[in-house]
Structure 1
C-alpha cells in the first residue's frame, strides 16, 4: 500500500507528489490523460504571481504582501478567505527556489506582457516545460505515475479516505489521498446546469470554448459533494476569458486570448457597446471579459481597433478582419451597420483629448456616453480598421471543496484525517469571482505543497497543526 495517492496530473498534483516524496512517503499518481496530454490546464500556463519585498532575480522592483492582497480583494469583490489568501501570498514569495530544485527555470517578463515584470515570474518554455520538469523530477525521486487512469468514485469510511475506484474498475488504496483533478469546465452538461437559460431562452454554456484540458470533467468534485464534503463557491463563477471565436473547442490555451480589448471598443451582435473597456490594466481585468461576453446575446462580442494601437498589445494568433472603412468592417462582421455606426460615432465624439499612454492609467477618457471608457479612449478613426470576434473561454471553475490551512477536505466543518485537496478543486476558497494574472498557479503551487506535506505527515502518523479561522470573510 502506498503512503500517498495523488489523483490528478497538473501543477498542484505534482507539487503535492514531490513534497510528499521529499518527506519520505511513497507516492502513486493517477493521471486521467494520456502521457502526451498530461499536466491538465497547467500545460497552458506561463507564469506565477509572486509577492516580493525587493527585486528578486526575474522580478523587478517590489510587490509586497499588502498590494498583492489588495489586487486580489479588488478582483474578487471581497469574495475570498483572507486567512487562506494571505497564506498563499506569503508562500508565493519563497517557492521559486524549491521549484528550481525540481528543474523549473524562469525568464524575464515577455515584452508584450505589460505590467507583469514586477508581479509575475515567467516559466522558461512556458507551462509545458514546467510540467515536464516536475515529471522528470518526480520519476527520479521514485514517484510512480499511471496515465490514462481516470478515477470515477471514492470509497470513504465517514470522513476517512479508503480507496479510489477508476472508470475501469481498478481499486487503489493508500494511507492518505490528495485530490487535485481539476474543476468541471469540460463538462458541458454541468456548465449548462450551472449557467441555465438566459432571458432570451438561450443556453449560454452551449457557446463556451474550453481554454484548457478536455479531461477536467469534475467527476471527483461531484463524488465528494455526494459524500457530504463541505463546498464553497458559485458553480457559475470561474476563470472565463474573452478569446478568439475561431479557437478550438479544447486546449486553445493562452494564444487564443484577445488582448486589444482595452485599446479599442467592444460591441455585441447588435453593434452596441456594453462595458467600460478601459476600466483597469489588462492583467487585472482581462478575466472579466469572458463573463461579460457570455451575458450578451448569442454569447459573442467584437473587439474593434484601428491602426493607431497596432504594436501595443500581444498580437493574436489569428489575423483579424480588416476593412478600409467602419461601415465596411461592420458589413464583413455581419453586424447591423446603422447601429454599429451609431455606437462608433457616439464613442468617437465622446473621446476627450488627453495624453495617451497604454502603460499607465492615463487621462484619455470619454464624457457624456454610457458605458464610459475611463482610460485609453482614442477615437477609432485611423484605417485600416481591425475586428476580432470573441467567445467566452472557460479556464477553470470556482465551485470547490472547503479547506483549512492544512488542505484537508472538510465534512460538516470537521477536517478529514487523511483526505486532502489542492488546485482548482479548492481555488474557490480564495477566488469567489474574478481573476488576476498568475494567481491560479500561486494557489496550485501553495496548496499542492501544503497538501503533499499534510498527506505525508498523516501517513506517517504525525499530527497536523491547524489554525482557527477557515471561513470566507
Structure 2
C-alpha cells in the first residue's frame, strides 16, 4: 500500500511485533492512521521480522489458570481438558527474579520493572484490542504427569500458530485501522531539525535507489531489530566463530537502525549500551538454511529436547549440564556453547525413554534427520559419517554417564523422574561424580532404539542496543542522558535489558510493552506538537 502523504504523525521502522504494536498504539493514542507509516527494508512477503519465526510464546505475570482463562477464551473451549491443568501463579517477583538471575543482575532495573509490571496488562491489550489469539502452551511448556497437564518454567501462553499467527493478527488490525506501509524501502538517515530534534527520515526504494525521499514526521520509532543477520557485526561484537552461526529468522536484521543513530550529530548521538557481546542463540538443526529462517517451518528447527538426553561434541565429550534448569532458561545460551565446540556442532542423543517425550514438531522425520540405531555402538559408527571424530570416547562418555546415574539411583531411591519439575534426578552421588553433572532429568541411555540429531548454533537476536527512558521509550543522549526529541526505540534495539541470557518468551512481551509506550508518546505528540 502506498502512503497517501509525505508528512506523518509517526514513522516506525520495522514490521515485527514491536513495530506493529507501536503503530497500533499510536493510532489508539490519537495519531491519524493515514499518517502512521511503517517502513521495512524487506519485501512485503517477509513482513514480520524475527517475530514471524518465533514460537509465539509470551512470558507474563499471572495468578494461575483462572486469571488467564479470559485471555484464551476464544481458543480454549474444552472444559474437560481445562479441568486437568495444573498451573502455578507466576508473580512479578518471579518474573523480575528470572531476568536478573539469568543476567547476573546486570540488567537495568527500571527497564526490568517496567516490563514486568506491564506484562499482564499488555497481554489483555494484545488479546482484546488487537485480537491476538492466545492458547495455553501445553504443546511446549507442559507434560502429562499422572493424568494431569503440568506446566513448568513460568511460561504458559503462546499465540495460535506461533509467530505466524501473531504477525497475521497484528497485520490484520493494522490494515483495518488504515495504517500505511512501505516495504522494499531503505532508511538512509534520520532528519534532524534545528540540530536538536528528529523530524523524519530519508529513504530510498530498493527498486529505485537513485531517488531519495524526504519523509517528515513528528515521531520516529526504531523497531528495526538487532544485528544478528550481519556476519561482519557478529564478528566485531560477538567474536570469532560467529560467522558460522545459522540465522534463525529474517535475513534483513543487519543492524541498520544502529547505524542511523551513530550517524547523528554528536550532540544528539546516543551511546550503545548493554551486552554487545551477548545474544540469544539456541540449539538449531545443523541441516537448516544458514543465512535465513525458513518461512514454512520457522521455529521447528529449534532442538530443545536436550534436557531429556545428552549433548555430545565431535570429540565424544559432553560440554554442558543438560539438566541445569528448565529448557526455557538455558536454551538461549546453549547455542553459543555448541558453536564453541570443535567444528561448531554437536549431537543430541536419547534412548527410547527420552524420544517418547520429544516434540514431534521439532523432531519429526519431516523436519530433521534422525539417526537411529539399535545399539550405541551402531549409533557411534553411523555418527562417524556425520563428523564424530572419536567414536570410542563417545561410547565411554555415555557409559560413564550411565554408571553415574545408576550410582545416584542406588543412593537416592526416593528421587523419581518428573519432567514437569526440577526433579533433582542427577549424576552426583557419594560413589561417583561426573566432571560436568546432569542436575535434573538424568535418565540412563540404556534402552534402544537410540536416536541422535546433529545440531549447531542458531542465533535469534542480539542483546546490545540503545538506552531508553523506561516510561516513554525515548532514546537518550550519550552524555546528558536527556531524551532525544522525537526519537523512540523498542524491540530488539533496546539495550541493557538482557545480559548473557534471558528467560524464554520475554522478548515478544518486551517488544509489545515498550512498543505500546512509544506509540502512546507518538499519539501525545501528534496532538501537541506543531
CA drift at 1:175: 1.3
> What's the offset of the Cα at 1:117?
8.8
Indicate the larger mover: 415-424 or 102-111: 102-111
1:38 corresponding residue in structure 2 = 47
Matched, 1:127 2:145: no
What is residue 410 of structure 1 aligned with on the other side? 476
Query: Of 377, 380, 384, which residue of structure 2 is paired with 1:330?
Result: 380
Is the contact made by 1:260 and 1:305 (CA closer than 8 Å) also made in structure 2? no
SS of the equivalent of 2:185 reads coil
Shift of 1:391: 0.8
Q: Aligned ranges for residues 353-392 of structure 1 at < 5 Å?
A: 353=409, 354-367=415-428, 368-392=433-457
1:219 aligns with 2:252: no
Separation in structure 2 between the aligned mates of residue 116 and residue 50 of structure 1, nearest angstrom: 14
Deviation at 1:460, TM superposition (A): 2.8
Structure 1 residues 298 and 15: alpha-carbon distance in aligned structure 2, compared to 1, 3 A threshold: same
- Is 1:21 aligned to 2:58, yes or no? no
Matched, 1:151 2:218: no
Q: Is the 8 A contact 2:466 2:475 kept in 1?
A: yes
Alignment equivalent of 1:207, drawn from 225, 228, 244: 244
Task: Calculate the TM-score normalised by the size of structure 2.
Answer: 0.82
Counterpart-to-counterpart distance in 2, 1:263 and 1:359: 12
Question: 1:361 is paired with a residue of what secondary structure?
Answer: coil
Q: How does 1:160-199 map to 2 (within 5 A)?
A: 160-167=197-204, 168=209, 169-197=212-240
Query: 1:193: how far off?
Result: 1.8
Q: Secondary structure at the match of 2:379?
A: helix
Work out the CA distance in 2 between the residues paired with 1:363 and 1:409. 45
Indicate how the Cα distance of structure 1 residues 195 and 111 shifts in structure 2: closer, same or farther if over 3 A, else same: closer
Contact 2:11 2:200 in 1 (8 A): no
Q: Which residue of 1 aligns with 2:515?
A: 448
| Unaligned stretches of 5+ residues in structure 1 | 198-203, 463-473
- Runs of at least 5 residues in structure 2 that lack an aligned partner in the other structure: 1-6, 73-86, 143-150, 410-414
Q: 1:61 offset after TM fit, Å?
A: 4.0
Return the alpha-carbon distance in structure 2 between the equivalents of residues 161 and 389 of structure 1: 48
Match of 1:74 among 101, 105, 109: 101
In the TM superposition, residue 234 of structure 1 has moved relative to its aligned partner by 2.8
What's the counterpart of residue 103 of structure 1?
131
Secondary structure, counterpart of 2:275 in structure 1: coil
SS at match of 2:141: coil
- 8 Å contact 1:113–1:314 — kept in the other structure? no
Q: Tell me, in whole angstroms, the C-alpha distance in 2 between the residues paired with 1:382 and 1:287.
A: 30
- Distance of aligned partners of 1:416 and 1:392 in 2 relative to their CA distance in 1, 3 Å threshold: same
Q: Which residue of 2 aligns with 1:232?
A: 273
SS in 1 for 2:459: strand
* Structure 1 residue 373 displacement after superposition: 0.8
1:264 aligns with 2:306: no
Q: Equivalents in 1 of 2:247, 2:192: separation in Å?
A: 32
Alignment check: 8 A CA contact 1:263 1:377 kept: yes
1:11 maps to what in 2?
A: 17
Query: Which one of 275, 290, 293 corresponds to residue 338 of structure 2?
Result: 293
Instruction: Mark the structure with the bigger radius of gyration.
Output: 2
- Alignment CA distance shift 1:74-1:378 (3 Å): same
String of CA shifts for 1:162-209, please: whole Å, max 9, x gaps. 332224322221111101010111111111222333xxxxxx123200
Report how far residue 125 of structure 1 moved.
Answer: 2.4
Deviation of 1:79 after TM superposition, in Å, equals 2.0
The answer to which of 380-389 and 321-330 deviates more is 321-330
For 1:116 and 1:404, how far apart are their aligned partners in 2?
A: 33
The question of whether the paired residues in 1 share the 8 Å contact of 2:490 and 2:514 is answered with yes
1:90-147 alpha-carbon deviations (Å, 9 max, x no partner): 1111123321222211122233433359633211222222212222222222211111
Q: Alignment partner for residue 398 of structure 1, among 460, 463, 469?
A: 463
Q: What is the CA–CA distance in structure 2 between the aligned matches of 1:394 and 1:148, rounded to whole Å? A: 24
CA-atom RMSD, angstroms? Answer: 1.9
| CA shift digits 1:316-361 (9 cap, x unpaired) | 2314111122222222222211211221121111112141111111
Counterpart secondary structure, 1:155:
strand
Change (3 A) 1:234 1:71: closer
Q: Would you say the 8 A contact 2:141–2:155 is kept in 1?
A: no
